[in-house]
Amino acid sequence: MFEQLFIPNPEAEKPAPLNPLKGVIIGAGQVGMACAYSLLIQDCFDELILQDLAQEKVEGEVMDLLSGMPFLPPTDLKAGTVADEGRNADLVIITAGAAQKPGESRLNLVERNVAIFKSILSDVVKYCPDAILLIVSNPVDIMTYVTLKISGFPSSRVIGSGTVLDTARFRTLLARKLDIDARSVHAYIVGEHGDSELPIWSTANVAGVKLAPKSWENLAAAEQKDLTAIFEQAKNAAYEIIKRKGYTAYGIGLAVTDIVKAILRSQERVLTVSSLVNGLYDIHDVCLGLPTVVNEKGILKTVNLTLSEGEEKQLRDSARVLGEVFAQLKL
């Protein structure tokens, strides 16, 4: 009956073949669905596949999202797997993993999540051999390293969400203190996405004006206390959110979308994603968050920040914490 709705133009040229952008999200829990929602409303993919072991749940999530498609730019959204609908995806986002419990450090999640990743990555490698892999599951630096080793992909195509969200939280808190837009604050949190991360006060600035004009050692005790309180609030934000509502989702969903846009649109953005570090700051064979240029190839290059002596030591300490865990992994 619908054939009579349109009158075809016999002289219309056949459209050129399209190369649609395809993404897969593995893991349709709170984080995975926050990522999916944010990616859809910001028009990131032409095709988006949601994969989860809970088949009925993920089908329900897709049905729910499809109800709102008339309000969004068109995206071909489906429930499926990398082995069927997700083959040859441009980008595979992994959010699957054991949930972080209240008071549990991210490093305590390692053993449970390594086993999950081993089962996931075999199909990803087989059916999406040219994809960029974006790891969101915690502990993200360790899972990025695990993915790198299991997949055999080049390090440029294995990216963790790193300290992108930590940096956003940090900038938001600083912006509120300064009463300005958070996008005008240029400050980084680097290292592990977790307890050993550190703020880079030596380069933090607004319009080129440093927030800490003196070296950390030369700041007054009261100034150090104020700055430390802001950093601690950013670092512990996830624990505080989990304590109140049981999980975090919206912030990381928006952070992942920012990373995805930088990749798919080749924006060459500087983002504190987690990737393999070999040699910089005398750190070797460790994945952690540093300001990194991201484009359609994945990791293009890492910014060589001029750190203070104390910051370099803290960064190496953070790398050591992660390295000790990496050394115990059975891959």
Catalytic residue numbers read 193
Given a contact cutoff of 8 angstroms between Cβ atoms, the answer to whether 292 and 303 are in contact is yes
**Residue 293: strand pairing partners:** 270, 301
Centre a 10 Å sphere on the Cβ of residue 14 and count the other Cβ atoms it contains. Answer: 5
Contacts of 146 (CB under 8 A, 6+ apart): 113, 114, 117, 329, 331
Nearest-angstrom CA–CA distance, 72 and 21: 16
Nearest-angstrom CA–CA distance, 224 and 242: 28
Nearest-angstrom CA–CA distance, 27 and 61: 12
Query: Three-state DSSP class for 32?
Result: helix
Cis peptide before 129 (omega within 30 of 0): no
DSSP state of 191: B
